[in-house]
Structure 1
Amino acid sequence: METLVFVFLACLASVIVAAPQLGQQQDRPPHIAIIRDDRQDFGDGNFIYEFVSENGIVVTVLGTPGSRGQSNIQGSYRFPLPDGTFATVLYVADENGYRPESDLIPTTPPVPDHAQEQIRVAEEQRRQGVVWDQRGFRVNRK
């Protein structure tokens, strides 16, 4: 019986020693102070919000009532990148959706000249009433 109690206590001690200490979290991100957090709601659908943290994150928002009951928002946000520079995004969110602008947002490459010519020809054929069947053959010949 003494051996069993000794083994139990040895196992319990091993678990306690191996467990992380209470209040200590592993891989916890550093604390970042909030420098400014200003919010104004005027009660009529208009509002202003500005947030700044010590690591350079900045959020600015201006809200106004929209024509369809939504809030129209113009704003920007900035955050640090791993290389030490900052990314900035300007945006509008309204009846027409969310429209961000930033150097970081990929843009579509220009349409090549040969593709523009194909589009022009297809539009001309459409104006002339040209119709194609499911196999790609022209149905009407004028």
Structure 2
Amino acid sequence: MKTILLSMLLAVAVADKPSFTYDAPAPRPSGPVRVIEIIRDDRVHPAADGSYTFDVETEDGISRHEAGGVGGSQQGSVNFKFPDGQVFDLQFVADANGYQPQSPFLPVAPAFPHPIPAHALRQIERARQEEAARARGEIRQAPSQSYGHPQ
């Protein structure tokens, strides 16, 4: 009985063991593959100061331009045409302020749905005044409301 129970537990453990291997996807039957030619590939590899540029364009209308300079700042653009004929254009800058893309195709957050209530504005102003007074040393830091070590 113990042997049967042990073999059943072993079978369940082996069946539930996750697989940590990756198998390439099975090939899908498809028609002939069209190779898109690169019609322009102009690159200036990084110079001693770190500056570089590249311009790439493919025969199907995709283009990419990027330039970088001293300090790690970069700017560039990506352009292509959607199947419906619309032209996608993305301009970007990446610098100390982070990645800053600009495009009419990027989503925009909706406007705040309503004005901030007057009582909330009063609380915000009161907190600002208390913080300024605390910074000037006019009032002491309020005791913590959390539990902690006795003082």
Pick closer, same or farther for the CA change 1:119–1:95 going to 2, 3 Å: farther
Alignment of 1:49-64 (within 5 A): 49-64=54-69
Where structure 2 has 5 or more consecutive residues not aligned to the other structure, the ranges are 1-28, 132-141, 146-151
Aligned length: 104
Deviation (angstroms), 1:50? 0.2
For 2:115, give the aligned amino acid: H
Alpha-carbon distance in structure 1 between the residues aligned to 2:38 and 2:59: 6
Percent identical residues:
34
Pick closer, same or farther for the CA change 1:94–1:128 going to 2, 3 Å: closer
For 2:67, give the aligned amino acid: L
Deviation (angstroms), 1:63? 0.8
Q: Which residue of 2 aligns with 1:6?
A: none
Q: Please list the CA deviations of residues 4-29 of structure 1 after superposition, one character each: whole Å capped at 9, or x if unmatched.
A: xxxxxxxxxxxxxxxxxxxxx62554
Q: Which residue of 2 aligns with 1:80?
A: 81
Alpha-carbon distance in structure 2 between the residues aligned to 1:65 and 1:28: 45
Report the secondary structure of 1:114's partner residue.
coil
1:93 aligns with 2:90: no
- When the two chains are superposed, the root-mean-square deviation of aligned CA atoms in Å is 2.6
For 1:32, give the aligned amino acid: I
Pick closer, same or farther for the CA change 1:84–1:114 going to 2, 3 Å: same
Q: Please list the CA deviations of residues 94-121 of structure 1 after superposition, one character each: whole Å capped at 9, or x if unmatched.
A: 1221110000111112224423756533
Q: Which residue of 1 aligns with 2:20?
A: none
Normalised by the size of structure 2, how large is the TM-score?
0.58
Structure number with the higher strand fraction is 1
Alignment of 1:5-20 (within 5 A): none
Pick closer, same or farther for the CA change 1:55–1:121 going to 2, 3 Å: farther
Report the secondary structure of 1:88's partner residue.
strand
Q: Which residue of 2 aligns with 1:43?
A: 47
For 1:37, give the aligned amino acid: D
Q: Which residue of 1 aligns with 2:30?
A: 26
Normalised by the size of structure 1, how large is the TM-score?
0.62
